[in-house]
């Protein structure tokens, strides 16, 4: 048994004291896990756009001071009462959403939206007792989406921890905790493009490129990338994108451009921007009779989706997805195996690497649009 079991651990963490201000490396105290909780030693984490969005405090109730981070990989240090599926030493991925395995969503084969552990961006405390497991000099430092992986140690609900193959390289599979799985699953689990089909991807950021990777794996013959930034096009070729469309280059709606390119519309489309007009275009660009459009991006709260009902009556299908329809504990270990079998390529998503002491550089890279994923080594 580890000498730290049942004791408070002091470790380094990158703390966000205020919205939009650089993170500060602090010594924090991490309490032991309570019932149905697990304390993890985080070895690798990565920066996702969602971290940046909430660090900037855009559009939600700001919660500070806070430890961000939700794409990561680590090892179980200790477990709380009632935890039976994990043991110290297990290799795991903490996930921002969970799978309690008891609610109606978890028992359904069609849903991954757990009633108990579904993402909650405003909650900065643990479910068990409504308190934080992080503190500095007795004052609480708040959690972020139940993970807070910008800390050398963190405490997570057991339902938000996926046990994975111990042979998997943690500095690669860590990025499966959020955006990459979201885009990949949107294609493979929801759009389900037949082999030889045409697929349009709206938005060529990390999530969009993961959707393109899914289309490549599925055997799509034509993958059309749609983006307003032509600088993204050369990189997208690595992910199987065969054609590129910049809506700015045309004096007609992009859905008409795509219909002309493909003889009536694409077979599948995946929208990864959060822009309401892109969502409408993604739906209206699919072929009548069998076309399926999948919405991945999160719109503004006041947006309204407007299209003519005949687009539905013409047998086009519109779907939405959350985390690529993956159940975290059940499905993420399978996605890791896809990487281990060389079916899924992850290296091309990782564009930068820094140590924890340089974590603010990762924010700079993303804000400048230079990185897909910057991984952060906790021991560097």
Active site (catalytic) residues: 48-50, 70-71, 100, 103, 106, 114, 118, 178, 373
Q: How far is it, in rounded angstroms, from Cα 268 to Cα 200?
A: 6
**24-30, strands of its sheet edge to edge:** 9-15, 24-30, 134-136, 139-141
| Preceding omega of 82 cis (within 30 degrees of 0) | no
Q: How far is it, in rounded angstroms, from Cα 33 to Cα 181?
A: 27
Please name the residue that has the structure tokens 């004052």: 139
């Amino acid at each position: 048994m580890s000498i730290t079991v049942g004791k408070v651990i002091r470790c380094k963490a990158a703390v966000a004291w205020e919205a939009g201000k650089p993170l500060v490396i602090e010594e924090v105290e991490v309490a032991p896990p309570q019932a149905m909780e697990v304390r993890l030693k985080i070895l690798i984490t990565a920066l996702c756009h969602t971290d940046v969005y909430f660090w900037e405090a855009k559009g939600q109730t700001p919660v500070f001071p806070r430890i961000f981070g939700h794409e990561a990989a680590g090892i179980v240090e200790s477990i709380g009462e009632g935890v039976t599926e994990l043991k110290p030493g297990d290799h795991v991925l903490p996930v921002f959403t969970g799978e309690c395995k008891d609610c109606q969503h978890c028992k359904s084969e069609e849903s991954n939206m757990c009633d108990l552990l579904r993402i909650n961006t405003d909650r900065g405390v643990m479910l068990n007792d409504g308190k934080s497991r992080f503190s500095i000099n007795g004052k609480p430092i708040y959690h972020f989406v139940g993970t807070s992986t910008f800390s050398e140690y963190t405490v997570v609900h057991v339902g938000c921890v996926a046990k994975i193959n111990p042979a998997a390289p943690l500095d690669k599979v860590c990025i499966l905790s959020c955006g990459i799985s979201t885009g990949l699953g949107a294609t493979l689990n929801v759009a389900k493009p037949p082999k030889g089909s045409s697929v349009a991807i709206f938005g060529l950021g990390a999530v969009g490129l993961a959707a393109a990777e899914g289309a490549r794996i599925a055997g799509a013959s034509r993958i059309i990338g749609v983006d307003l930034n032509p600088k993204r096009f050369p990189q997208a070729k690595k992910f199987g994108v065969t054609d590129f469309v910049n809506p700015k280059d045309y004096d007609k709606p992009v859905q008409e451009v795509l219909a002309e390119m493909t003889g009536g519309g694409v077979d599948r489309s995946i929208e990864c921007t959060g822009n309401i007009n892109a969502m409408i275009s993604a739906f209206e660009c699919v072929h009548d009779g069998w076309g399926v459009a999948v919405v991945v991006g999160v719109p503004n709260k006041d947006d309204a989706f407007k299209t003519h009902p005949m687009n539905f009556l013409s047998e086009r299908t519109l779907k939405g997805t959350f985390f690529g329809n993956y159940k975290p504990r059940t499905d993420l270990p399978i996605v890791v195996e896809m990487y281990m079998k060389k079916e899924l390529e992850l290296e091309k998503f990782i564009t930068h690497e820094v140590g924890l002491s340089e974590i603010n550089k990762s924010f700079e890279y993303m804000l400048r649009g230079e990185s897909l994923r910057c991984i952060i080594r906790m021991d560097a």
